[in-house]
Amino acid sequence: SASKSPADPHAAWVLRGITSNERYVVREPERGELVAQQLALGRPEATCAALIPIRKNDAWWKLTQDERQRVFEEQSHHAKIGLQSLPTLARRLHHCRDLGDHEPFDFLTWFEYPPAEEATFERLVADLRASREWSYVDREMDIRLVRDPA
């Protein structure tokens, strides 16, 4: 059972999520392309990162899994948009809802990329934010980080 209090009592807030099975797996051939082109996290040249916590509204969660899949795949083309940024961006999705309803976000999205690919990342984020799926997002933060390569 997940604890409702942060591990550090001095923390103002804590973000927690878990990796899980793919909830909105796209159909072939997009799924195969995603898997084949997805790069690993932690590449030395990928010194830029973004953490984007996202919460979707009640209307999203009232949709059935099949309805959410249609929004994700057919209306928003989420995977197709993501494919346009591969293989330059590495990503990992963490689910927060599985930890209980006390988490402030539903998803923690983590991206890593080389500085030369910043425009690719910005285009990806802009395209996703312009999609139908994004109309269900009611809270988002965009945290950018740069790792010292030394």
pLDDT of residue 78: 78
Q: Where are the alpha helices (DSSP H) in the chain?
A: 30-37, 58-62, 65-70, 78-83, 118-129
- The model's pLDDT over 24-60, given as tens digits with 9 standing for 90+, comes to 555 666 566 666 667 889 999 999 999 999 999 999 9
Q: Which residues of the chain have pLDDT under 50?
A: 1-3
Domains and CATH numbers, the chain: 46-146 (3.30.70.3420)
Q: For the chain, how far is it from start to end, CA to CA, in angstroms?
A: 40
pLDDT of residue 3: 47
